[in-house]
Amino acid sequence: MSAHSFGVIPITCHAWNGKGSEIAISRSDQNIEIYKKSPSGYDLTATLSEHGQRVTGIDWDPKNNRIVTSGADRNAYVWEFRDGNWKPCLVILRINRAATCVKWSPNGDKFAVGSGSRLISICYFEEENHWWVSKHIKKPIRSTVTCLDWHPNNVLIAAGSSDFKARIFSAYIKEIESKPTATCWGAKMPFANCMFEVSNGGGGWVQGVSFSANGDLLAFVGHDSSISVVNGANQQQLAVLKGSYLPMMSLTWVGANSIVTAGHDCLPKLFKYSDGNVTFVNDLDIPKEKETGTMSAMNRFRNLDKKATAEGTTDLKTKHQNTITQVSIYSGTKDNCSKFSTTGKDGQMIVWDVKVRIITFCLHFKIQGQFFF
**pLDDT single digits (tens) 141-153:** 999 999 999 999 9
Per-residue pLDDT at 362: 52
Rounded CA separation 317/130 (Å): 51
The pLDDT of residue 351 is above 60? yes
Provide the CB-side half-sphere exposure for 188 (13 A, CA).
Answer: 2
Q: What value does the mean pLDDT take over residues 189-202?
A: 94
Mean pLDDT computed over 9-18? 96
Which of the two residues, 310 and 278, has the higher pLDDT score?
278
Kindly tell me if the per-residue pLDDT of 310 is higher than 70.
no
| Cα separation values, 238 from 127, 206, 219, 257, 275, Å | 42, 15, 10, 15, 12
Contact (Cβ atoms closer than 8 angstroms) between residue 296 and residue 323 = no
Name the burial class of residue 289, with classes exposed (0-12), middle (13-18) and buried (19+) by CB atoms within 10 angstroms of its CB. exposed
Region 81-96: what's the mean pLDDT? 95
Contact 189, 195 (CB under 8 A): yes
CA 11 to each of CA 59, 213, 237, 344: distance values in angstroms, whole numbers, following the listed order: 14, 27, 36, 5
| Residue 219 confidence class, pLDDT cut points 50, 70, 90 | very high
Alpha carbon 211 to its chain's center? 12
Q: Domains in the chain, please, with CATH? A: 11-290 (2.130.10.10), 291-319 (no CATH)
H or E element, residue 229: strand 226-231
At residue 369 the predicted structure's pLDDT band, cuts being 50, 70 and 90, is very low
Burial of 38 (C-beta count, 10 Å sphere; 0-12/13-18/19+): exposed
Residue 298 phi, psi (nearest 5): -60, -45
CA distance linking residue 41 with residue 316, whole number of Å: 24
Identify the bridge partners of residue 115 per DSSP, sorted by sequence position. Answer: 99
pLDDT at 333 over 90: yes
Q: Average of pLDDT values for 48-67?
A: 96
Question: How far apart (Å, rounded) are the C-alpha atoms in residues 329 and 333?
Answer: 7
For the chain, the residue count is 373
pLDDT at 253 over 80: yes
- Alpha-carbon distance of 144 to 38, in angstroms, equals 39
HSE-up (13 A, CA, CB side) for residue 165: 14
The letter for the amino acid at 340 is F
Residues 123, 217: Cα–Cα separation, whole Å: 25
Identify which of 355, 291, 84 has the alpha carbon closest to the alpha carbon of residue 363: 355
pLDDT digits (tens, 9 = 90+) for 28-56: 899 999 999 999 999 999 999 999 999 99
Euclidean distance between CA atoms 136 and 70, whole angstroms: 16
Residue 280 pLDDT more than 80? yes
Asked whether the predicted pLDDT for residue 23 surpasses 80, the reply is yes
The HSE-up count of residue 328 (CA atoms within 13 Å, CB side) is 24
What pLDDT does residue 366 have? 45
The pTM (predicted TM-score) of the whole model is 0.90
Share of the chain above pLDDT 90, in %: 83
**Mean of pLDDT values over 339-354:** 96
